[in-house]
Amino acid sequence: MTDRELAPAPIAGSAAEAGPRTRAWLRAALRRLVGSPEYPAEAADRREFEVLGLRLPVRATVVIIVVVLAMIFDYSRTFFPRDLIAFDRNPGMQRLQAFDRLALYVLVPLLVTLIGFRDRPSRYGLRLGDWRWGIGLAVAGCAVMTPIVLAVAPDPSFHEFYGPSWSSLLDVLATNGIDLFSAEFLFRGFLMLTLVRTIGSIGVLVAALPFVFGHLTKPEIELLSALAGGMAYGWLTWRTGSILWGALAHTYILTLLMWAAAAPVAAG
């Protein structure tokens, strides 16, 4: 047998091995994608107290109470001067609401974390986390959502709700950035990561519920999608250990929605 006749054998062997290697690479890539981050509970996370026979975890109970009160005060605009309260969704009111949420959703939980819990804010998502996956997953999510947002934005309900809030791109980006960073910290960092250490992964779903309730005044399409969106942002925080990437993606998606919904206003 000549050398020429023997030559194809290694090529055929390589082709036969390519399939299993590709499948193994895909399985490894999937494992890296979904990850398996651990959020071990420290002794303080497990500490309990008893009320009328109920044994409740101290930290999780405090966090839930703080989140409920923050949402009530935000909805009621409790700390707004009465002469500044307006419900017409003008850009100035949206900016004032964003700073109000910065205080209620970020500063108050931070004080509870630092002074009440004597804990590190990094345990509640205030860090870069797994930033390589964070950047990649946030960009991928935004790419998937862009055509969806542009498809639903012309709906009259979005035009009526978001049109009055549009001013300029930089102004809306700044307002949304403050607002949504605050929301991501309250729901995904402060609440969700506390619950994950207390009740496990179901905490991702539980923490999405108040996020959904915060959308009750919004267009029905957005309200119906809020649970899926809350789970997606929650998973991103769980996967990366940081609220930053969800906050950036959330800001992009909402700003795009507002821009597309307000386009008829600008054209008019």
DSSP of 104-115:
IIIIHHHHIIII
Distance CA 100, CA 85 (A): 12
Q: pLDDT tens across 214-252, in order?
A: 999 899 999 999 999 999 999 999 999 999 999 999 999
**Cβ atoms 222, 122 nearer than 8 A:** no
| Mean pLDDT score of the chain | 88
Q: Are 219 and 153 in contact (CB under 8 A)?
A: no
User: What is the average per-residue pLDDT within 162-186?
Assistant: 95
Whether residue 129 contacts residue 86, with contact meaning beta carbons closer than 8 Å, is answered with no
- pTM reported for the whole predicted model: 0.86
Q: Longest C-alpha distance within the chain, in Å?
A: 97
Give the model's pLDDT for residue 229. Answer: 94
